[in-house]
Structure 1
Amino acid sequence: MVVATLWQLSVDRLRREQPQAVELLRLCALLAPEPIPLALFTRGPESLIAAAADPLAWDATVGSLAGLGLARREDSALVLHRLVQAAVRATMTDELLATSRARLCRALLEAVPHDIHGDPDARPRWHALLPHVLAVTKGDPPAQCAPETAQLLRHASEFLLAIGDRTGALPLCERALALDEALEGRDAEIGFDLSTLAQIHRDLGAPQTALPLAERALRLHESCLPADSPALATDLATLARTLCLLSEHRAALPLAERALRIDEAAHGPDDPYVSFDLIALATVHFDLGDPVTALPLIERALRIREAHYPPDHLYIGYALLFKAQVLDALNEGSAGESARRGAQILHGQLGRTHPKTEDALALADRLKR
């Protein structure tokens, strides 16, 4: 009773002295009990809180929450205890909850990196925002933000897939697909969902499940996107790599070549997306027993990645490990060094017990010279 009274007194004081702080408190109550980047409220075409447009007013708004013990300020973030969040949510009407959740969905969709492969800063930003994306997209979304929820879920699954968390990525992408299929006019988005879902199943070792998903994604995008759309390149490369796992290398080859042509024309020869096409094409040639053709493709992909990503990035690690396999097939003595560097990156990023790390360490150990 005493706690509830003190709580109500604090909120009443905020409502009188800093009404926008009450609005900020409500929005934060719907996010995760993790540090909330204050930039979420200040960046984008439309601020979530009007006071965010004025640095002095914004500082006073944020400071009032901390001053009353309702939140803790950490550098450029705000932290609310889960009990405070629960108490705030309990005072919000269903309509206010839905409206606030929709506003947060749109703000998060603006804040998260969409270009996970091409943006070298995508990983730290996603690590900071992922808990809040998961909190806001949990459960059935309000009708007014169903499209944004689906897109957020797919982007989150793409990020988790990129850092090797395939089991975490799977249910998010499945939910994105279910939401998009329930909406009208979402063919392009459904194609993106299907392509990502195919990649997840492929990486989970289920190419038979991935194949019809990848084929449907390509058909959808060919029906609704221009023939030179980079989205088609992603679909083609995904389908090519899936076919390789099913030993359909001859069918995969023209798909991988077409993907490379599209991305080179759209992005230029040295774009990170081109590196994915190069690896897909190198995979086809390698699996066809032609490591001589595969090697310059993987070396070019590695150069692109080393120019765009930090030296410990997973994409560089994966390229190094593939290069080690190709060099080993050519009986090149430098295969062991490439495998060692790749395994070291995966160990640092994924941990010692991750299956991909274990495979990398086994390869490096086998190729020791």
Structure 2
Amino acid sequence: MKHRRLQPKDYTVGWICALPIELAAAQEMLDEKHEGPPYDSFDANLYTLGCIGRHNVVLSCLSAGQIGPQSAANVATRMKAKFTSIRFGLMVGIGGGVPSSERDIRLGDVVVSQPHLEHGGVVQYDSGKTGPDGRKTRTGWLNAPPAVLLQAVSGLRARHYRDRSNFALYLSIFDRLDNFRRDSAGSDVLFEATYNHVGGKTCEQCNKEKEVKRPPRGGQNVVIHYGTIASGSQVIKDGISRDQISRELGGVLCFEMEAAGLMNDFPCLVIRGICDYADSHKNKKWQSYAAATAAVCAKEILSIIPPADLVRTATVDEIDLSHSTPKTHFLVPLLRNSRFVSVSYLNILEKKLFTERCQRLAIYGLGGVGKTQIVLELAYQTRERNPSYSVFWIQASSVEKVEQAYLQIGHGLQIPGINEEKADVKQLVKQKLSQESAGEWLLILDNADDADMWFKETDTTTWNSSLVDMLPRSTKGSVIWTTRDRKGALKMAPSQDTLNIHEMEESVASDLLRKSLIRPADLQMCARLLYQLTYLPLAIAQAAAYINANQISIAEYLSLLEEAEETTINMLSEDFEDEGRYRDLKNPVATTWLISFRQIRRHNSLAAKYLSFMSCLDANGVPQAVLPRAATRKDATDAIGTLSAYSFITKRSAGPLTTNPLIDNQAFDLHRLVRLATRNWLRAENKLGQWSEKAMTRLVDIFPTAEHMNMPQWTVYLPHALCICFSDAIDKNSTERGRLLEKIGLCLLAEGRYKEAIGPIEEALQARIEVLGNEHPDTLMSINDLGRVLSKQGNYKAAEEMNRRVLEGREKALGKEHPDTLTSVNNLALMLQHQGKYKAAEEMNRRALERREKALGKEHLDTLTSVSNLASVLQHQGKYEAAEEMNRPCYNTRASTKRQRR
């Protein structure tokens, strides 16, 4: 029978499912099915169209194997883009129940999201910040369902109170489908939260004495519960964790994995049928029936809503544009400077931002002139005077620092999918802040001194673009750059929106010096000192710190300046790069640094060691966790305090930048000029190589593996690892460098930064060849990694060559049937297939299959992978019957395995 076709604008309800079984249940609820929309190459969703009562409904399901909040958000975004008249959504499917003494939740029951306590119906349980006591504070709010749905929920509850429900009638639709019937689900058993599953697909071996005794329900099989649903990116499979999270959140009724990606951008109601108890005793048998009861509940809710009410309801896009004042964010890692004095520059910036509404500003000036302090004060004053503004800070000195900051901003904004593997973090942040609904914001990019880094093409997960293209644009947002490069500033902003920061005027510098000194000082002596320091804020801060620490007069400090050796100052000033600053005077930064450093080395040797160590790393965001271990915690605190007192380092705020404990712990910025001077000092003493090797060894020990869960850690360490690996003070062929380069390359590969990954992996390979030879297992692993990167770049011919080298080496070293060898066979076959060499790929896949069947058995997942690969090659050659025959035996096994992982 031919179905009728409606226009996309005729559909008003979007129904999203996560699993095929949920979609099947939803399709059974349609009173009439419509013809699907025409094929759209730009829309990956597959839609089922139909009606329930007088509502035209769009059904769509997440792609197989791609569950989670980001996948749900992607489906919803594409749906509302195509069907522009959608008024609200329904997220319908299965979930893990949370039984308690207050709520008698049973398998097959239904949970409907409804505002409760401080939650809007759904709470993202894995989003927040862990405090020192171990308690987690939630840092975001998910919107409540729209009013029209909450009114329908009230109507549904009233129906059930009066026993006027159509639930049983709608549920009887599934009687003809054995999989969806309750008697196919088995028994409903709840075990004590502390008792874990013994093993096996069922609980037959579990101790019956650990079952929770519950009275029978009587004649009522399905109960609908209303309250909070917990949503997160991980499956809860532990009764203790389930109950603990529920208590922390004021009592939740079930756990699921998709709703958090929808609530703020796709107004919807979440409906979950209970298929398990979110513990280790998970059982797939209840999933079909639970999907059916959830779908029935959704249908009954839709039946309550009059179509006329939907006409008066805003579309989801209109709701996006009419959001009330969005939550503001202040993600600035630096503490405020109480001695700030450059008010005139600050007034100019505020006028351009808030009066002239400039969207791109760039301020430039010499190192140490105070650019960072000006924009830092701007950030804090913006927070105080314009509470509707969000403020974000990016340390823009390296690609890695930019990546790290974008990830932190994404966490702060609670962007769905920001933690997903291969997520394009910069693009997600750009899209979020470019939306009008993001509100007013200020984005500060500090120390953007390398213009080439920002404007050259760089690799992203999907296309080539420059870093500057990843900056958001909005009529409500402004971007400020600080840089030492005037040419770079003119590239970054229009000429009328650039500001040149000069050395301080004498009166302003005098004000800064007096504020910085503990004891009053003679004005004439202050003027002499400021002249010697060329009115440079950094030099003034260091001089004042020394005077305060040693309780000496300005006259005594001036005598120290005059005694500083010219040759030492010249040596310390190498690479300062700011031409023309010092005229006929000694370098003020290097001079003040020399005086202070000698004092530190005499009185706190650990502080001197810390400074030497930090100078071998990137200057910004050095985690305290990476520093050499002190004998006691007090020693470490004293050393850090000494460096801070002398203005050598600046402590980063421990505020709510991210939930990452490495960042929340403590991090420090080392001023660029102080870093250069320290390196020159160490180089003169022939100790730079020694300290660089220490830093290298430490980073090798703590740098995490390239597993996605470690991404917050490696984004912190990556800038420092790259800095040390490419330092001229490191032996390029050292084993430690090769190990660190490999870790760096694999992390970049995991982030999808393929162009950047290939360099470190190639260098790691060359180092291993030099030290270990061509056939060492570690060398073969590096060749394999290089092949992976080449493959990701689409260079399949070169990747094939790498895979052949690995295969030959492993066959020789490990034998032809070793699992690693068979993996290499598999990889080579894939490269051949990518190049259209199907016959050769078929031969390789058959070889891998035969050996895996022999070594692992026919039902092992690796064997099934070989079956699937071979079927794919056969299909490419047009051998469809043979491909189908290969796939049929393993289909059920693979499907079962995927469901178990869920």
Per the normalisation by structure 1, the TM-score is 0.67
The C-alpha deviation readout for 1:139-175, integer Å capped at 9, x for no partner, is 5664497111111111211111111111111111111
Contact kept? 1:157, 1:173, Cα under 8 Å: yes
Q: Which residue of 2 aligns with 1:367?
A: none
Give yes or no for the alignment of 1:54 onto 2:645: no
Give yes or no for the alignment of 1:164 onto 2:756: no
Q: CA deviation at 1:232?
A: 4.2
Q: Which residue of 2 aligns with 1:210?
A: 799
Give yes or no for the alignment of 1:249 onto 2:802: no
More strand by share: 2
Q: Which residue of 2 aligns with 1:92?
A: 682
Q: Which residue of 1 aligns with 2:601?
A: 15
2:617 to 24, 31, 49: 31
Q: For 2:696 and 2:867, locate their aligned partners in 1 and report how far apart those are by CA, in whole Å.
A: 37
Give yes or no for the alignment of 1:106 onto 2:684: no
SS at match of 2:651: strand
Aligned residue type for 1:206: N
Q: Which residue of 1 aligns with 2:809?
A: 220
Which one has a bigger Cα radius of gyration? 2
Q: CA deviation at 1:282?
A: 3.7
Of residues 216-225 and 162-171 in structure 1, the stretch that sits farther from structure 2 once superposed is: 216-225
Q: Which residue of 2 aligns with 1:176?
A: 764
Q: Which residue of 1 aligns with 2:710?
A: 122
Q: For 1:33 and 1:241, locate their aligned partners in 2 and report how far apart those are by CA, in whole Å.
A: 43
Aligned residue type for 1:106: T
SS at match of 2:779: helix
Q: How does 1:183-194 map to 2 (within 5 A)?
A: 183-185=771-773, 187-194=776-783
Q: For 2:773 and 2:626, locate their aligned partners in 1 and report how far apart those are by CA, in whole Å.
A: 29
Q: For 1:104 and 1:211, locate their aligned partners in 2 and report how far apart those are by CA, in whole Å.
A: 37
Q: For 1:262 and 1:143, locate their aligned partners in 2 and report how far apart those are by CA, in whole Å.
A: 46
Contact kept? 2:689, 2:730, Cα under 8 Å: yes
SS at match of 1:92: helix
Q: Which residue of 1 aligns with 2:740?
A: 152
Q: CA deviation at 1:225?
A: 4.8
Q: CA deviation at 1:249?
A: 3.0
Give yes or no for the alignment of 1:80 onto 2:670: yes
Contact kept? 1:104, 1:136, Cα under 8 Å: yes
Residue 259 and residue 146 in structure 1: after superposition, are their counterparts in 2 closer, same or farther (change >3 A)? farther
Per the normalisation by structure 2, the TM-score is 0.29
The C-alpha deviation readout for 1:273-308, integer Å capped at 9, x for no partner, is x79x9767644433432475586687577668x66x
Gap regions ≥5 residues in structure 1 = 42-47, 308-369
More helix by share: 1
Q: For 1:264 and 1:88, locate their aligned partners in 2 and report how far apart those are by CA, in whole Å.
A: 58
Q: CA deviation at 1:135?
A: 0.4
Contact kept? 1:282, 1:295, Cα under 8 Å: no
Aligned residue type for 1:86: L
Q: For 1:166 and 1:33, locate their aligned partners in 2 and report how far apart those are by CA, in whole Å.
A: 26
Q: CA deviation at 1:218?
A: 2.6
The C-alpha deviation readout for 1:196-251, integer Å capped at 9, x for no partner, is 11111111111111112111123223444587876546534432322321334313
The C-alpha deviation readout for 1:65-93, integer Å capped at 9, x for no partner, is 12211111223212212222111101113
Q: CA deviation at 1:258?
A: 7.8
Count residues in correspondence.
287
Residue 149 and residue 230 in structure 1: after superposition, are their counterparts in 2 closer, same or farther (change >3 A)? farther
SS at match of 1:34: coil
Aligned residue type for 1:172: P
Q: For 2:893 and 2:738, locate their aligned partners in 1 and report how far apart those are by CA, in whole Å.
A: 35
Residue 55 and residue 139 in structure 1: after superposition, are their counterparts in 2 closer, same or farther (change >3 A)? closer
CA RMSD, 1 decimal: 3.3
Residue 188 and residue 37 in structure 1: after superposition, are their counterparts in 2 closer, same or farther (change >3 A)? same
Contact kept? 1:278, 1:301, Cα under 8 Å: no
Contact kept? 2:650, 2:668, Cα under 8 Å: yes
Contact kept? 2:748, 2:756, Cα under 8 Å: yes
SS at match of 1:93: helix
Q: Which residue of 2 aligns with 1:327?
A: none
SS at match of 1:235: helix
Residue 140 and residue 71 in structure 1: after superposition, are their counterparts in 2 closer, same or farther (change >3 A)? closer
Q: For 1:123 and 1:261, locate their aligned partners in 2 and report how far apart those are by CA, in whole Å.
A: 36
Q: CA deviation at 1:178?
A: 1.6
SS at match of 1:183: helix
Gap regions ≥5 residues in structure 2 = 1-585, 655-665, 876-882
Contact kept? 1:233, 1:259, Cα under 8 Å: yes
Identity %: 22
Q: For 2:812 and 2:604, locate their aligned partners in 1 and report how far apart those are by CA, in whole Å.
A: 53
